[in-house]
Amino acid sequence: MLAIDSAYYNNGFLHFSYIWGEILKKVKLLDQVRALIRTRHYSIRTEEAYTSWIKQYILFHDKKHPIEMGTDHITSFLSYLAEQRKVAASTQNQAFNAILFLYRDVLQVDVGAINGVTRAKKPKCLPFVLVRDEVKSLLNNMERSAWLVASLLYGSGLRLLDGLLKTVISLQFSVVS
Protein backbone atom coordinates (compact mmCIF):
# COMPACT_ATOMS: atom_id res chain seq x y z
CA MET A 1 0.00 0.00 0.00
CA LEU A 2 3.02 2.28 0.33
CA ALA A 3 5.39 3.58 -2.32
CA ILE A 4 8.99 4.30 -1.42
CA ASP A 5 9.85 7.92 -2.19
CA SER A 6 13.48 7.90 -1.03
CA ALA A 7 15.92 5.91 1.07
CA TYR A 8 18.91 7.02 3.12
CA TYR A 9 21.36 5.68 5.71
CA ASN A 10 21.51 7.12 9.22
CA ASN A 11 23.57 5.55 12.02
CA GLY A 12 23.94 2.32 10.07
CA PHE A 13 20.18 1.90 9.48
CA LEU A 14 18.40 2.20 6.17
CA HIS A 15 15.43 4.61 6.42
CA PHE A 16 12.63 5.02 3.88
CA SER A 17 10.20 7.84 3.23
CA TYR A 18 6.86 6.88 1.72
CA ILE A 19 4.24 8.31 -0.59
CA TRP A 20 0.74 7.64 0.74
CA GLY A 21 -1.64 9.80 -1.26
CA GLU A 22 -1.75 8.37 -4.75
CA ILE A 23 -1.71 4.75 -3.71
CA LEU A 24 -4.37 5.00 -1.00
CA LYS A 25 -6.69 6.92 -3.32
CA LYS A 26 -6.72 3.97 -5.72
CA VAL A 27 -7.73 1.42 -3.06
CA LYS A 28 -11.31 1.78 -1.84
CA LEU A 29 -11.82 2.21 1.89
CA LEU A 30 -13.81 -0.98 2.42
CA ASP A 31 -11.22 -2.93 0.43
CA GLN A 32 -8.57 -1.58 2.80
CA VAL A 33 -10.72 -2.71 5.75
CA ARG A 34 -11.17 -6.20 4.25
CA ALA A 35 -7.46 -6.52 3.47
CA LEU A 36 -6.43 -5.63 7.01
CA ILE A 37 -9.02 -7.96 8.55
CA ARG A 38 -7.80 -10.82 6.36
CA THR A 39 -4.17 -10.04 7.16
CA ARG A 40 -5.00 -10.37 10.85
CA HIS A 41 -6.91 -13.62 10.23
CA TYR A 42 -10.21 -12.41 11.70
CA SER A 43 -13.24 -14.57 10.96
CA ILE A 44 -15.32 -14.02 7.83
CA ARG A 45 -18.28 -13.08 10.04
CA THR A 46 -16.22 -10.32 11.68
CA GLU A 47 -15.27 -9.03 8.24
CA GLU A 48 -18.91 -8.99 7.14
CA ALA A 49 -20.09 -7.32 10.34
CA TYR A 50 -17.34 -4.67 10.41
CA THR A 51 -17.75 -3.72 6.75
CA SER A 52 -21.52 -3.53 7.20
CA TRP A 53 -21.23 -1.23 10.23
CA ILE A 54 -18.66 0.97 8.50
CA LYS A 55 -20.97 1.28 5.47
CA GLN A 56 -23.89 2.22 7.71
CA TYR A 57 -21.73 4.76 9.54
CA ILE A 58 -20.69 6.41 6.26
CA LEU A 59 -24.24 6.39 4.86
CA PHE A 60 -25.61 7.82 8.11
CA HIS A 61 -23.34 10.83 7.60
CA ASP A 62 -24.33 11.37 3.94
CA LYS A 63 -21.37 9.48 2.44
CA LYS A 64 -18.71 11.67 4.05
CA HIS A 65 -15.28 10.08 4.15
CA PRO A 66 -14.42 9.01 7.73
CA ILE A 67 -11.18 11.02 7.63
CA GLU A 68 -13.36 14.16 7.45
CA MET A 69 -15.37 13.09 10.52
CA GLY A 70 -14.50 12.94 14.19
CA THR A 71 -15.71 11.99 17.64
CA ASP A 72 -18.94 14.00 17.32
CA HIS A 73 -19.92 11.96 14.27
CA ILE A 74 -19.11 8.69 16.04
CA THR A 75 -21.13 9.78 19.08
CA SER A 76 -24.16 10.76 17.01
CA PHE A 77 -24.13 7.47 15.08
CA LEU A 78 -23.83 5.30 18.19
CA SER A 79 -26.52 7.30 19.98
CA TYR A 80 -28.77 6.96 16.92
CA LEU A 81 -28.36 3.18 17.12
CA ALA A 82 -29.48 3.14 20.76
CA GLU A 83 -32.22 5.77 20.60
CA GLN A 84 -33.80 5.37 17.16
CA ARG A 85 -33.00 1.82 16.11
CA LYS A 86 -33.21 0.40 19.66
CA VAL A 87 -30.32 -2.03 19.11
CA ALA A 88 -29.04 -4.31 21.86
CA ALA A 89 -25.99 -3.31 23.89
CA SER A 90 -23.85 -6.01 22.23
CA THR A 91 -24.89 -4.76 18.78
CA GLN A 92 -23.95 -1.19 19.68
CA ASN A 93 -20.62 -2.44 21.02
CA GLN A 94 -19.96 -4.30 17.78
CA ALA A 95 -20.67 -1.13 15.77
CA PHE A 96 -18.38 0.83 18.10
CA ASN A 97 -15.57 -1.72 17.68
CA ALA A 98 -15.95 -1.66 13.89
CA ILE A 99 -15.66 2.13 13.82
CA LEU A 100 -12.69 2.07 16.19
CA PHE A 101 -11.02 -0.53 13.95
CA LEU A 102 -11.59 1.75 10.98
CA TYR A 103 -10.03 4.78 12.62
CA ARG A 104 -7.24 3.23 14.69
CA ASP A 105 -6.10 0.40 12.45
CA VAL A 106 -7.08 1.25 8.87
CA LEU A 107 -6.85 5.05 8.82
CA GLN A 108 -4.34 5.15 11.70
CA VAL A 109 -6.07 8.13 13.28
CA ASP A 110 -6.41 8.50 17.04
CA VAL A 111 -10.00 9.53 17.72
CA GLY A 112 -9.42 10.03 21.44
CA ALA A 113 -12.10 9.54 24.07
CA ILE A 114 -15.65 9.18 22.81
CA ASN A 115 -17.98 10.64 25.42
CA GLY A 116 -21.68 11.43 25.53
CA VAL A 117 -22.89 8.31 23.75
CA THR A 118 -26.36 7.12 24.71
CA ARG A 119 -25.76 3.53 25.66
CA ALA A 120 -28.14 0.76 24.66
CA LYS A 121 -29.78 -0.99 27.57
CA LYS A 122 -28.41 -4.35 28.59
CA PRO A 123 -30.95 -7.18 28.85
CA LYS A 124 -32.31 -7.83 32.34
CA CYS A 125 -32.91 -11.54 31.90
CA LEU A 126 -30.31 -14.22 32.48
CA PRO A 127 -29.53 -16.82 29.83
CA PHE A 128 -31.50 -20.05 29.99
CA VAL A 129 -29.34 -23.04 30.98
CA LEU A 130 -30.46 -26.66 30.80
CA VAL A 131 -29.49 -29.32 33.34
CA ARG A 132 -28.02 -32.62 32.11
CA ASP A 133 -31.31 -34.55 32.25
CA GLU A 134 -33.02 -31.86 30.16
CA VAL A 135 -30.21 -32.01 27.59
CA LYS A 136 -30.50 -35.82 27.42
CA SER A 137 -34.25 -35.58 26.90
CA LEU A 138 -33.81 -32.94 24.22
CA LEU A 139 -31.14 -34.95 22.36
CA ASN A 140 -33.22 -38.16 22.56
CA ASN A 141 -36.07 -36.44 20.69
CA MET A 142 -33.92 -35.26 17.76
CA GLU A 143 -33.46 -36.76 14.30
CA ARG A 144 -30.05 -38.14 13.27
CA SER A 145 -28.37 -35.10 11.63
CA ALA A 146 -29.83 -32.62 14.14
CA TRP A 147 -28.76 -34.96 16.97
CA LEU A 148 -25.20 -35.09 15.63
CA VAL A 149 -24.88 -31.30 15.33
CA ALA A 150 -26.50 -30.67 18.72
CA SER A 151 -24.29 -33.28 20.39
CA LEU A 152 -21.18 -31.72 18.87
CA LEU A 153 -22.23 -28.25 19.98
CA TYR A 154 -23.06 -29.42 23.49
CA GLY A 155 -20.03 -31.66 23.95
CA SER A 156 -17.34 -29.53 22.38
CA GLY A 157 -18.47 -25.96 22.92
CA LEU A 158 -18.49 -25.20 19.20
CA ARG A 159 -20.45 -22.23 17.94
CA LEU A 160 -23.49 -22.94 15.80
CA LEU A 161 -21.88 -21.98 12.46
CA ASP A 162 -18.73 -23.97 13.25
CA GLY A 163 -20.86 -27.00 14.07
CA LEU A 164 -22.89 -26.70 10.89
CA LEU A 165 -19.80 -26.34 8.70
CA LYS A 166 -18.12 -29.47 10.06
CA THR A 167 -18.07 -32.49 7.80
CA VAL A 168 -17.69 -36.11 8.79
CA ILE A 169 -14.21 -36.09 7.23
CA SER A 170 -13.09 -33.23 9.46
CA LEU A 171 -14.08 -35.10 12.63
CA GLN A 172 -11.80 -37.57 14.36
CA PHE A 173 -13.57 -40.29 16.21
CA SER A 174 -11.65 -42.06 18.94
CA VAL A 175 -12.61 -44.61 21.53
CA VAL A 176 -12.13 -43.51 25.11
CA SER A 177 -10.90 -46.38 27.22
pLDDT tens-digit readout, 130-151: 888 998 999 999 998 888 888 8
Q: What are 21-72's pLDDT values in tens digits?
A: 544 456 788 999 999 999 999 999 999 999 999 999 999 999 999 999 999 9
CATH of the domain at 56: 1.10.150.130
Judged against a pLDDT cut of 80, whether residue 108 lies above it is answered with yes
Q: Which has the higher per-residue pLDDT, 19 or 148?
A: 148
113: CB partners within 8 A, 6+ apart: 71
Among residues 17, 38, 35, which one has the least CA distance to residue 26? Answer: 35
- Do 100 and 32 share a structural domain? yes
The β-bridge partners of 3 are 19
User: In this structure, are 94 and 137 located in the same domain?
Assistant: no
Quote the domain boundaries for residue 36: 28-106
Q: Is residue 112 part of a domain?
A: no
Let me know if residue 118 belongs to a domain: no
Report field, pTM of the whole predicted structure over 0.75: no
The mean per-residue pLDDT over the stretch 141-168 comes to 81
Same domain, 84 and 154: no
As a residue count, the chain comes to: 177
Residues 35 and 74 in one domain: yes
Domain count, the chain: 2
Q: Which is more confidently placed, 159 or 44?
A: 44
13: in domain: no
For residue 82, tell me if it sits in a domain: yes
